[in-house]
A = this chain, B = another copy of it.
């Protein structure tokens, strides 16, 4: 039962994770390091789990992550209650931490920041993260929400659909003229391609689809790990790539890019995952995100 957990010990666990060491947590909480150590041990005995890996900096175990998230959620509820009671000081804005995938951050997400009404006094902490890392950040409560392409809810989180981001296979006209004369499925396995990073399997998957699984994209690949840089590299003729429709459209319009696989596209559904928590700030952000996504993404 959650109500059985001694919250001062849970808060101590959070301080250790946030500060990185027992000594730093002790300094932050104005107690001795041995008091910190005793509280963490007591919490580990009570839960019957190892909660911290004693590395430098310390890391929560999976069980530890659950309690760290609990501590952050409790802190958030306390903050909301104080704000409602008019007890929070002028200097204490409400912090909203959100993990956002790179393409959303580069296209539609920043509008959210300007659309949330000012009276909420929100300060955003955005993190640009890929899928794998996003789940871990939600689990340990480092972020309270995320824009992600994974519909699988992280434990303790709710999920809602935001719409689909469409990707188009494009290249610079001079690149297409030089490299893409023949059947596109065959040539894409041989010509230069731009890829986001080592974990980006998007272009390879597209070519596997075209070749019915026989081959991925070319070994001639440039890795360009920013969304804006990726588009710029494709427009500069370094390779072809799958570019989000909002970034591709203006460049297709003025002739700096051409479509290279007409009729082929990839739609990526996006989701909003957030703590199940009745925080007015988080509710307001979720509503603004949903409304902004509805305008920017395909239904």
Chain A contact residues, CB within 8 Å of chain B: 91-93, 102, 105-106, 110, 113-114, 121, 123-128, 192, 197-198, 219-229, 232-233, 236-238
Contact A219 B105 (CB under 8 A): no
Partner of A113, one of B121, B126, B225, B238: B238
8 Å CB contact of A236 from B110, B192, B221, B227: B110
Q: Are B236's CB and A114's CB within 8 A?
A: yes
The CA of A198 and the CA of B20, in the complex, are separated in Å by 14
Q: Nearest Cβ distance between residue A72 and chain B, in whole angstroms?
A: 15
Contacts of A222 in B (CB 8 A): 113, 123-126
Flag if A223 contacts B93 (CB, 8 Å).
Answer: no
Q: Are A224 and B110 in contact (CB under 8 A)?
A: yes
Are A219 and B92 interface neighbours, CB within 8 A? yes
Interface residues of A, dominant DSSP: mixed
Partner of A110 from the list B106, B123, B227, B229 (CB cut-off 8 Å) is B229
Taking A114-B237, A127-B223 as given, write out 17 further A-B residue pairs in contact, using a Cβ cutoff of 8 Å, ordered by the A residue number. Answer: A91-B219, A92-B219, A93-B219, A93-B220, A102-B226, A105-B229, A106-B228, A113-B222, A113-B224, A113-B236, A121-B220, A123-B221, A124-B223, A127-B197, A127-B225, A226-B226, A228-B228
Contact A106–B225 (Cβ < 8 Å)? no
Within 8 Å CB of A128, what residues of B?
A: 225-226
Contacting pair A114 B226 (CB below 8 A): no
26 CB-based A-B contacts, threshold 8 Å? A91-B219, A93-B219, A102-B226, A105-B226, A105-B229, A106-B229, A110-B233, A113-B222, A113-B236, A113-B238, A114-B236, A121-B220, A123-B220, A124-B223, A124-B224, A125-B198, A125-B222, A125-B223, A126-B222, A126-B224, A126-B225, A127-B197, A128-B225, A226-B227, A226-B228, A228-B228
Beyond A128-B225, A225-B127, whether A113 also contacts B233 by CB under 8 A is yes
Please give, as numbers and ranges, the residues of chain B lying within 8 Å of A127 by CB-CB distance. 197, 223, 225
Distance A232 CA – B237 CA, assembled complex (angstroms): 26
Which 7 residue pairs of A and B lie closest in terms of their CB atoms, listed nearest first?
A125-B223, A228-B228, A124-B222, A114-B236, A128-B225, A93-B220, A91-B219
